[in-house]
Amino acid sequence: MLKKFILLSQQYFMNMKFPRSSGILLHPTSLPGQFGIGTFGNEAFEFVDFLEKAGQKLWQILPLGPTGFGNSPYQCFSSAAGNPLLISPEKLAQYSLLDKNDLKDVDGKSIKSDHVDYKKAKEIISPLLLKAFKNFKTSEQNNLKKFCSNNDHWLDDFALYLSLKEEFLMKPWNRWPRAVRMRDENIINRYTDKLKEKISFHKFVQYVFFSQWKELKDYANNKGIHIIGDIPLYVAYDSVDAWTHPEIFLFNKNRLPVRIAGVPPDYFSQTGQLWGNPVFDWKYLEQNGFAWWIERVKANLKLFDIIRIDHFRGLAAYWSVPYGHKTAIKGEWTKAPGKKLFKALQHALGELPCIAEDLGVITSDVEELRNSFGLPGMKILQFAFDSKEENNYLPHTYDSNCVAYTGTHDNNTTIGWYKNISASDRKLVKKYIGCNDEGIAKSLIRLAWSSNADIAITPLQDILELGEEARMNLPGSQSGNWLWQYKKTDLTDKHAEWLKKITKICDR
């Protein structure tokens, strides 16, 4: 069975040409559960079972890192670590790291199951992780030591960083005492000794996170389902990456950003999007052989079967805004050495099973970079029906080397989108789709599945035919995002039967 899967995987990724297939976009936080957030618990395995029943081969997720301000998976404390809130307490009980009575103490009735409650999830899961750490047996220490040794290039710094954040009341690192902020060796050694118990705890948490993720991924892979993971182009300023590797960013002598990332005014925002992430010092990275990037991609290829590079256009040229500006309007395009980066990645890691998120302001240099390495781009059906202009998002224009989406985590749901478009755009949708009594969400799924694109993906919200209330993220907004969570009773065998039928008809 394992040999067969390895052979299929080799065929799947050969020459960067993906086979005709389809799948569902769902971040694990949106899984149902009693802990205030979706986890790698039983519901995750049941979702994999649903994918199998529905004839799907792909599960796409968002970044899995520990989230900071706003709970955005694109603003994490680390580019390598995992989010402790995704750890399943039920699995900890199965490992005998918790007692079943520990789970009975969880007052699930106080948690609304229609959206993620990050505060409540932390209040519940954090103490359980501490209990599990205290219950961890000496006989199992060898596995933990092996994990720590294999991941010491990021784990030691991250465990210290998170311990220091707790020591300094979760303030961002640029507000820590100067000697700590600037990583004075004597001071760092002193705090490492002082916080050694906390540091050991955070290493244990990461060990559990990656153990549970591996179990879930192996389960999916053994059913022929591949995981598409997401690499954000940028890292958060309040991250261990920025604290420990200031040389790879455009920082001043006080380690404040000189310029920050964003995008100019676009479909999502009239003032652009000011993300606030520090931009890379690409000259330094190039001189250093792109070592940080190679290590980052290598780690993600261990976690996922396919990687999607978010904001891919930033590897050709990126929107750079002077630090301190309130909007992204007064930025400028700055070239990035994308070709040199990808050549270095290929030299170190071989052909990359990679999807390019080529949305936004796409120019010829972005297309050239994508095409030079044979990377599939993204086609969003919600962008296809603009009656005022021609565009290349209508399915009949697709070549096969792309990924067709009804929408992404940044879009409205298909039903929410359809209710908000103009009458002329709605008329174009009906004209293009033809007579169809399935409803707009199912119609766009069928359209994506029947397209020439090698891969077709839909958010679970569209399978469930949900409206705007189920939107995952509204770019440019500061609150109310990343909260959607479905109920266990929402997903039924009827959904699986319909999707399997469409998938079979469309030869996916």
Sequence letter at residue 154: W
Question: What average pLDDT does range 40-59 have in this prediction?
Answer: 98
DSSP-assigned states of every residue in 433-469: H-S--S-HHHHHHHHHHHSS-SEEEEEHHHHTT--GG
Give the CA distances from residue 380 to residues 300, 347, 393, 457, 458, in Å, rounded to whole numbers and listed in that order.
25, 32, 6, 10, 10
DSSP code of residue 321: E
Which of the residues 90, 157, 230, 410 is marked catalytic? 410
SS3 58: strand
The tokens 């707009």 sit on which residue? 440
Is residue 357 among the annotated active site residues?
yes
Task: Give the percent of the chain with pLDDT over 70.
Answer: 94
Question: What average pLDDT does range 192-218 have in this prediction?
Answer: 98
CA nearest 79: which of 311, 381, 296, 338? 296
Question: What average pLDDT does range 487-495 have in this prediction?
Answer: 96
pLDDT, mean over the chain: 93
SS (H, E, C) 352-406: CCEEECCCCCCCHHHHHHHHHCCCCEEEEHHHCCCCCCCCCCCHHHCCCCEEEEC
Lowest mean pLDDT among 49-53, 87-91, 261-265, 447-451: 261-265
The pair of three-digit structure tokens given for residue 339, joined into one six-digit string: 């070709």
Q: Is the pLDDT of residue 432 over 50?
A: yes
What's the CA angle centered on 80, arms 487 and 324, to 5 degrees?
90
The pair of three-digit structure tokens given for residue 155, joined into one six-digit string: 């784990």
Report the pLDDT value the prediction gives residue 375, as an integer from 0 to 100: 97
Report the pLDDT value the prediction gives residue 128, as an integer from 0 to 100: 96
What's the CA angle centered on 453, arms 361 and 378, to 5 degrees?
20
Task: Give the percent of the chain with pLDDT over 90.
Answer: 85
Report the pLDDT value the prediction gives residue 505, as an integer from 0 to 100: 97
Distance CA 366, CA 343 (A): 16
Is residue 351 among the annotated active site residues?
no
Report the pLDDT value the prediction gives residue 100, as an integer from 0 to 100: 84
Q: How confident is the model at residue 228 (pLDDT cuts 50, 70, 90)?
A: very high
Report the pLDDT value the prediction gives residue 10, as an integer from 0 to 100: 43
Q: Where are the beta strands (DSSP E) in 409-495?
A: 455-459
Q: How confident is the model at residue 69 (pLDDT cuts 50, 70, 90)?
A: confident
Q: Is the pLDDT of residue 7 over 60?
A: no
Is residue 241 among the annotated active site residues?
no
Which of the residues 357, 358, 454, 462 is marked catalytic? 357
Q: How confident is the model at residue 3 (pLDDT cuts 50, 70, 90)?
A: very low
Lowest mean pLDDT among 238-242, 421-425, 504-508: 421-425
The pair of three-digit structure tokens given for residue 231, joined into one six-digit string: 């690499």
**What do you get for the CA distance between the two ends of the chain, in Å?**
22
Which of the residues 43, 157, 310, 462 is marked catalytic? 310
Sequence letter at residue 146: K
The predicted model scores a pTM of 0.94
Report the pLDDT value the prediction gives residue 13, as an integer from 0 to 100: 46
Distance CA 397, CA 385 (A): 13
Burial label, 285 (beta-carbon count in 10 A; 0-12, 13-18, 19+)? buried
The tokens 């000794």 sit on which residue? 193
Give the strand pairing for 21-25 and 259-263. Answer: unpaired
Report the pLDDT value the prediction gives residue 37, as an integer from 0 to 100: 96
Lowest mean pLDDT among 15-19, 116-120, 355-359, 425-429: 15-19
Question: What average pLDDT does range 464-473 have in this prediction?
Answer: 97
Q: Is the pLDDT of residue 173 over 50?
A: yes
Report the pLDDT value the prediction gives residue 478, as an integer from 0 to 100: 81
Q: Are 115 and 37 in contact (CB under 8 A)?
A: no
Question: What average pLDDT does range 226-244 have in this prediction?
Answer: 98
Q: Is the pLDDT of residue 4 over 70?
A: no
Which residues does 276 contact at the CB level (< 8 Å), separation at least 6? Answer: 237, 260, 261, 262
Report the pLDDT value the prediction gives residue 157, as an integer from 0 to 100: 98
Give the strand pairing for 377-380 and 402-405. Answer: parallel
Q: Positive or negative CA dihedral for 17, 22, 24, 28?
A: negative
Phi-psi region of 71 (alpha: psi -120 to 50; beta: other; left: phi over 0): left
Question: What average pLDDT does range 183-209 have in this prediction?
Answer: 98
Report the pLDDT value the prediction gives residue 177, as an integer from 0 to 100: 97
Q: Where are the beta strands (DSSP E) in 232-335?
A: 259-263, 273-278, 306-309, 317-322, 332-335
Phi, psi torsion values for 277, nearest 5 degrees: -70, 145
Report the pLDDT value the prediction gives residue 6, as an integer from 0 to 100: 42
Q: How confident is the model at residue 77 (pLDDT cuts 50, 70, 90)?
A: very high
